[in-house]
Structure 1
């Protein structure tokens, strides 16, 4: 879904009149893919329905929403994006328990069909409120797109940081349940920890978004990156009990869950005074970088868990088979601040050069 975003954003920027059709078409594809997956009986069918078509439908719904938000919000754009990401996390609080109950009581097919029906009922009314701030011109000619931001070092440094952070971001939520079982916690601990992670991400997204409206993007990104790395190293890596794991998911969910909300503050800095650059297109490119990190994270996390397979006998996180993955998660969280670190290095380097020149002149 994330990998489709750069293409979707480019197409909808070039042909704005297509945006109004994306929501209904995306919902139709989403519901059709969910319904078809309920009758799938092979891995290939699941990949096509839930992996490809569902992602296509969701991206068609998400893309115009993001574009319209970029048009409607200016001064509090960070908070607006924070609300959007918080909504995603809020759904994640209840869904593990809801799906578990539905699967146990009604089975896989009925659960998928009921979710398809719920998607129609819950999403259709919201499509009526999706509209641009300014109606697109009736001129059918393609609108020119400015890609000059691709020449900006700041854009690429931010993109690198997002890709690296995305490598480790999903590892805790993916392996929380199995890790909890490894250290001897009850079976209910896994869903509970996942729910707490999503719950903590809600205020995390809102607060990081609000901070982005008030202070520089670099400061907010550093707060999110260091704030998510410390719980990994100090809590997850040293965890023995459920209380420690609860603290970990709350702090990690708050800071790591708010990382995406920091981007809006960086968009305007990348755009600068160039009015021909559309910040929504930059946002779409950053989403593509996040998708790239997510794709690589799957096999990477599996390889890290396998690499730590020989380490056992101690309940401490570092001394389990998950030790290498815990270290990777913490390191990638720190390097999510790649852009601010790069900027700080440049400032220090320029001051050093200036001092040398003054000494030489003297």
Structure 2
């Protein structure tokens, strides 16, 4: 998951009205009161931004650093069941998060706006309890259930309400990848110093504390709370979602592309550290560094691909921008990851940065996709809900993550008969590398739809 997407938000005027404001309208002390209100608003916004930054750690920290846990499981396996199954935990975690978003965003936008903080607290407790229970695991399926499913559901319950509330205070916010650069080393330190079971209990406590702090710092805007119960007729009209876009091919073309791209995107996040240790024989520190290099470029990538998708002076179609991201990330997998050999730290770092940049920026192209779908709706004089479109695209990404994770296990088994050779293609991970490259390039297949009339007639 790329957690560096630029989240579109909007700012609402404050509806807070104090008695002294009415008095100041008649003169006397107006400037002092206005300055006080401005200072208070600035302080509140600063605390909200702080809460947003803190929330990234418990929500995305585990999934963004899961490759470290995967490597630890492979080298220190003590549970019942096949250790290869642990490869699906990271992708399942991301998949559950994204699959939950369409439903949770729809639920907490208006109908359950008053219950946002309650739901977020419940999510924090669920995520922390699940991570803590994972330390008691005796079979591999316990890890899949606690870390991959229930902890992810808890994180989704924290993420969705707090993101909606944040959007009521600010016009734009960026989910930074600082967590992705720091958390792998934190996870490594916990595992090396305390072992898996104690490390998970410590992380559960950290996740609970930081979640509750961030929830307390991000209040729901009073205008939205008041509006959620104001006019029931208007609320019913708002809940009537137009589904006309389901009749058009473009929605399915882009959804399939997102599923395919996401299926390959989660593979390096889960397997890069293990690959670095087993195939290229790198140190644990170097293997952990690869995840940091993988995550950090997404900050710039989100801005660049978002700019390309919405550039008034040098317009590119949504299919073109997605194709750039897909093709370049595919080439990185085929030409860099596949050709690494023993001791190839530099080449693996180049792959991590290149693939992390181009694949990580893929979700930033969704703004252009939504604009294109809105233009299509306008052409047919149809209504469209951009928020619902965005939620469904996230759902497609969740399907891709889960599918890629499930595919990784048989792909690893298929490569297990291959003796460790000079290059990545000749290793156990050869089928995974090919799958990553192929699924990535098909993430840009929408451009074939645009350029090939015969394909459009067929579909």
Matched, 1:248 2:351: yes
Matched, 1:307 2:414: yes
- Equivalent residue of 1:315, what SS? coil
Alignment match of 2:124 (pick from 23, 27, 30): 30
1:27–1:58 contact (8 Å) kept in structure 2: no
Alignment of 1:1-362 (within 5 A): 1-12=97-108, 16-35=110-129, 37-39=131-133, 41-42=136-137, 49-64=146-161, 83-84=174-175, 87=176, 89-105=177-193, 107-108=198-199, 109-127=201-219, 135-136=227-228, 138-140=230-232, 141-142=235-236, 143-181=239-277, 182-214=279-311, 215=315, 216-240=317-341, 241-272=344-375, 273=378, 276-346=383-453
- Equivalent residue of 2:390, what SS? helix
Distance between the aligned counterparts of 2:166 and 2:214, measured in 1?
Answer: 20
Distance between the aligned counterparts of 1:61 and 1:28, measured in 2?
Answer: 8
Q: Structure 1 residues 27, 342: closer, same or farther in 2, change over 3 A? A: farther
Q: CA deviation at 1:37?
A: 3.6
The corresponding residue for 2:38 is none
Q: Structure 1 residues 2, 284: closer, same or farther in 2, change over 3 A? A: same
Distance between the aligned counterparts of 2:349 and 2:167, measured in 1?
Answer: 36
Q: Structure 1 residues 304, 49: closer, same or farther in 2, change over 3 A? A: closer
Distance between the aligned counterparts of 2:207 and 2:103, measured in 1?
Answer: 28
1:148–1:277 contact (8 Å) kept in structure 2: yes
1:165–1:335 contact (8 Å) kept in structure 2: yes
Q: Which structure has the bigger radius of gyration? A: 2
Distance between the aligned counterparts of 1:269 and 1:121, measured in 2?
Answer: 39
2:334–2:433 contact (8 Å) kept in structure 1: yes
Q: Deviations over 1:286-330 (max 9, x none)?
A: 111111111111121111121112222422111111111111111
2:323–2:446 contact (8 Å) kept in structure 1: no
2:262–2:401 contact (8 Å) kept in structure 1: yes
CA RMSD, 1 decimal: 3.0
Count of matched residue positions in the alignment of Structure 1 and Structure 2: 339
Q: Structure 1 residues 245, 221: closer, same or farther in 2, change over 3 A? A: same
1:103–1:111 contact (8 Å) kept in structure 2: no
2:449–2:455 contact (8 Å) kept in structure 1: no
In structure 1, stretches of 5+ residues that fail to align are: 75-79, 351-362
Q: CA deviation at 1:4?
A: 1.9
Q: Structure 1 residues 113, 64: closer, same or farther in 2, change over 3 A? A: closer
Deviates more, 1:96-105 or 1:328-337: 96-105
Distance between the aligned counterparts of 1:349 and 1:331, measured in 2?
Answer: 22
2:124–2:212 contact (8 Å) kept in structure 1: no
In structure 2, stretches of 5+ residues that fail to align are: 1-96
Q: CA deviation at 1:24?
A: 4.1
Q: Deviations over 1:245-276 (max 9, x none)?
A: 00000000000011111111111211222563
The TM-score normalised by the length of structure 1 is: 0.83
Q: CA deviation at 1:165?
A: 0.8
The TM-score normalised by the length of structure 2 is: 0.67
Distance between the aligned counterparts of 1:193 and 1:199, measured in 2?
Answer: 10
Q: CA deviation at 1:125?
A: 1.2
Q: CA deviation at 1:192?
A: 0.6
